[in-house]
């Protein structure tokens, strides 16, 4: 990769305006003078007052895309910098990732050239030592199990077996299960020794499989003795989880023998706390190739998580190939300086796209299925639909005033219009293709963050409201979502959505599951209204949130600061009254990717909080132990 001949540096001054002030300096590190250009940067800290800038001219903004011009006649000689300030921001900057995420220049001949950027600096601040997010930890029992099991009464051995093998006479299904977990292990721990051999080894120990209908769904029991290990299970998931535990125990004992051992006697009797042990990934803001998706699914399987919620569409891109509408994955994914979708969230001079072909999807779903992970696809409607509307402009009401409402992310007029029949034709076709690709019982339809005021400047929406005798954005949203629910029911699928699906009258709670993200109390209200609920409050389970207060910590902060200890100790069920507990189906991590411009940032924020949520999903509350978790989580594979 070449080094850019230009660099933009940004500092933030808290007292420089109602929400502080950015100072930008563009350096010309090329060997030629620079003039007649425009500068674009992307930043989640948006400018809302175009007048409030000095020594620059505000040209335009779209969500986090900002374009400025230099003062007339400015010529930047090699080595020189142009400094300008921008206040009139829509909020304060709190962390180093709140500044420019990317930048480029548009030159006088129309060419676009990338500009290097660095994290935001806080003016006048002194460096603080990085916070300790994970203590060394402490183990009462030396076993490397993650999540920790429901019951364990096992004695650690001195050494550990060379390898574990299915006992002679094991069924083909049992042998296949060993092979599946062995392959998973090899993918996650490329340089480690295999925990399993299909052929018994004289130095190893055998696994005797026993099917036992008395064991809980997804549960297993391991009985250890000197000679053999008995693995009892009721279903394929339980067998796979028992094998995963064996692989974890052996890998821990081998890789950190000072900390971990393999059991020589005793038993583990295990089952999950919740049926929904989910992880969501936003692939719209950043694109993750199929290999990354498969690896994340591997990681989920390693932690005995069983739901992959795939957030396939958002304002920034529609990533799922739909044969009936190829423009969704051409126009609807490409963000670039001269494209209908402008650069956002770290994009620069080169257009970027990326989508999943239907063949990709089939392969990912099959991969997940082999590991007991159900893929729940999400298309986020009716809000968060800028990319869809860019690809299919015929879905907009041409008479609606432009920029008549804005989403919380700053996108104008970004919601599919409930008053346009073509919207439903479009969605019927999309669901027809989705149900062929995804066997999941649920299809997630989003439903979040429709801006209050949406559609109120649309003459077609006004007509619909008159006809239906309803008024307001959320009554319209409910009208829309009821029709969507009927489409899913007609296709034999249940509706999943974000908690705002319940707004304005919501949908029939029967066969509807909502993910409570805004705050924990929302989950209880939804359960009281009759919805099944999965808890993913941003304050604990949004993995894009910063992990400490310090300015140099990367991440978002609208839901607060979420240190790993908080994610670990939070108990979502805590406040549910007994009569509503049954409605709470489980918990979910959400990985939103606005800030995740690199693999390094992804891993830094997702781990160790993802395994902390895996433990919340699996381990009985009474067995949770932060110090033990901290000691074991260091063995975690990352993306």
* Catalytic choice (218, 270, 314, 378): 314
Which string of DSSP letters, residue by residue, matches 508-546?
Answer: -STTEEEEE-S-HHHHHHHHHTT-EEEE--HHHHBTTB-
Catalytic residue, chosen from 98, 449, 594, 615, is 449
Q: Is 9 in the site for ligand ACM (CB under 6 A)?
A: no
206 to 245, contacts with ligand ACM by CB under 6 A? none
Question: Are 419 and 460 within 8 A, CB to CB?
Answer: yes
| Whether the Cβ atoms of residue 142 and residue 255 lie closer than 8 Å to each other | no
Cα–Cα distance between 95 and 549 in angstroms, integer? 8
Nearer to ligand ACM, 147 or 383 (CB): 383
How many chain residues interact with ligand ACM (CB under 6 A)? 4
426-455 residues in contact with ligand ACM (CB under 6 A) are 448-449
Choice between 150 and 593, CB closer to ligand ACM: 593
**Residue closer to ligand ACM, measured from CB, 251 or 449:** 449
Catalytic residue among 384, 444, 503, 595: 384
The dihedral formed by the CA atoms of 335, 337, 342 and 346, expressed in degrees to the nearest 10: 70
* Number of Cβ atoms within 10 Å of the Cβ of 237: 18
Cα–Cα distance for residue pair 513/282, rounded to 1 Å: 19
Which residues does 360 contact at the CB level (< 8 Å), separation at least 6? Answer: 290, 321
Looking at residues 467 to 506 of the shown chain, list those that interact with ligand ACM (rule: CB under 6 A): 498
Q: Which residues contact 215 (CB under 8 A, 6 or more apart)?
A: 221, 232, 233, 234, 238, 271
Question: Cα Rg for the chain, rounded, in angstroms?
Answer: 27
**CB nearer to ligand ACM: pick between 519 and 599:** 519
Query: Catalytic residue at 314?
Result: yes
Question: Per CB under 6 A, which of residues 565..594 are in contact with ligand ACM?
Answer: none
Chain positions 504 to 523 lying near ligand ACM, rule: CB under 6 A, are 517
Q: Which is nearer to ligand ACM, 105 or 591 (CB)?
A: 591
Distances (CA, A) of 3 to 35, 557, 635: 20, 31, 36
Distance (Å, whole) CA 309 – CA 503? 22
* Residues linked to residue 65 through DSSP beta bridges, in sequence order: 42, 62
Shortest distance, CB of residue 449 to ligand ACM, whole angstroms? 5
Q: How far apart are CA 97 and CA 544, in angstroms?
A: 11
Half-sphere exposure of 495 (CA within 13 A, CB side): 28
Give the nearest distance from C-beta 524 to ligand ACM in angstroms.
Answer: 18
Which residue's Cβ lies closest to ligand ACM?
448
Q: Which is nearer to ligand ACM, 218 or 448 (CB)?
A: 448
**Complex with ligand ACM: residue 420 or 593, whichever CB lies closer:** 593
Tokens 């064996």 correspond to 246
Instruction: Confirm whether 428 is a catalytic residue.
Output: no
Annotated catalytic residue 449: yes
Catalytic annotation, residues: 314, 384, 449
Instruction: Name the site residues for ligand ACM (rule: CB under 6 A).
Output: 448-449, 498, 517
């Amino acid at each position: 990769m070449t080094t850019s001949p230009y660099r933009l540096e940004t500092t933030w001054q808290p007292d420089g305006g109602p929400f502080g002030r950015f100072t930008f300096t563009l350096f010309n590190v090329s060997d030629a003078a620079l003039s007649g250009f425009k500068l674009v940067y992307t930043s989640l800290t948006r400018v809302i007052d175009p007048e409030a800038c000095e020594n620059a001219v505000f040209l335009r903004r779209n969500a986090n895309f900002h374009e400025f011009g230099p003062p007339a006649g400015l010529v930047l000689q090699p080595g020189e910098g142009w400094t300008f300030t921008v206040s009139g921001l829509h909020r304060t900057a709190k962390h180093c990732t709140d500044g420019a995420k990317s930048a480029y220049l548009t030159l006088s001949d129309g060419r676009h050239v990338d500009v290097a950027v660095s994290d935001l600096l806080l003016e006048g601040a002194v460096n603080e030592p990085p916070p300790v997010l994970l203590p060394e930890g402490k183990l009462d029992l030396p076993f490397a199990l993650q999540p920790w099991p429901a019951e364990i009464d096992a004695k650690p051995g001195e050494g550990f077996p060379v390898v574990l093998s299915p006992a002679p006479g094991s069924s083909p299904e049992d042998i296949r299960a060993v092979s599946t977990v062995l392959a998973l292990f090899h993918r996650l721990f490329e340089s480690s020794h295999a925990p399993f051999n299909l052929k018994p080894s004289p130095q190893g120990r055998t696994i005797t499989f026993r099917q036992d209908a008395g064991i809980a769904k997804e549960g297993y029991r391991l009985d250890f003795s000197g000679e053999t290990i008995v693995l009892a299970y009721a279903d394929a998931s339980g067998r796979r989880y028992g094998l995963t535990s064996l692989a974890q125990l052996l890998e821990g004992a081998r890789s950190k023998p000072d900390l971990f051992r393999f059991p020589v006697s005793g038993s583990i009797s295990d089952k999950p706390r919740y049926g929904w042990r989910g992880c969501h990934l936003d692939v719209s803001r950043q694109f993750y190739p199929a290999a990354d998706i498969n690896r994340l699914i591997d990681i989920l399987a390693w932690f005995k998580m069983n739901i992959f919620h795939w957030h396939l569409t958002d304002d920034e891109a529609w990533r799922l190939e739909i044969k009936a509408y190829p423009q969704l994955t051409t126009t609807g994914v490409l963000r670039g300086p001269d494209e209908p979708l402008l650069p956002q969230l770290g994009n620069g001079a080169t257009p970027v796209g990326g989508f999943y072909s239907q063949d990709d999807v089939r392969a990912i779903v099959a991969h997940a299925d082999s590991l007991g992970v159900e893929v729940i696809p999400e298309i986020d409607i009716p809000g968060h639909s800028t990319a869809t509307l860019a690809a299919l402009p015929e879905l907009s009401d041409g008479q609606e005033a432009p920029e008549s409402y804005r989403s919380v992310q700053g996108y104008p007029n970004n919601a599919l219009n409930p008053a346009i029949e073509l919207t439903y034709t479009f969605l019927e076709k999309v669901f027809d293709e989705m149900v062929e690709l995804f066997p999941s019982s649920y299809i997630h339809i989003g439903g979040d963050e429709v801006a209050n005021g949406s559609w109120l400047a649309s003459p077609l929406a006004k007509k619909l409201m008159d006809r239906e005798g309803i008024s307001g954005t959320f009554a319209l949203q409910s009208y829309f979502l009821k029709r969507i629910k009927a489409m899913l029911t007609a296709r034999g699928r249940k509706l999943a959505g974000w908690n705002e699906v319940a707004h304005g009258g919501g949908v029939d709670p029967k066969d509807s599951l909502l993910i409570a993200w805004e705050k924990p109390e929302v989950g209880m209200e939804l359960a009281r209204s009759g919805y099944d609920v999965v808890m993913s409050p941003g304050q604990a389970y949004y993995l894009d949130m910063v992990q400490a207060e310090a300015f140099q910590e990367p991440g978002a902060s609208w839901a607060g600061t979420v240190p790993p200890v908080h994610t670990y100790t939070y108990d979502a069920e805590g406040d549910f009254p007994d009569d509503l507990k049954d409605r709470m189906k489980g918990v979910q991590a959400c990985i939103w990717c606005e800030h995740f411009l690199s693999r390094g940032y992804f891993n830094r924020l997702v781990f160790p909080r993802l395994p902390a949520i895996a433990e919340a999903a699996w381990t009985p509350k009474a067995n949770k132990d932060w110090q033990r978790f901290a000691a074991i989580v260091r063995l975690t594979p990352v993306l």
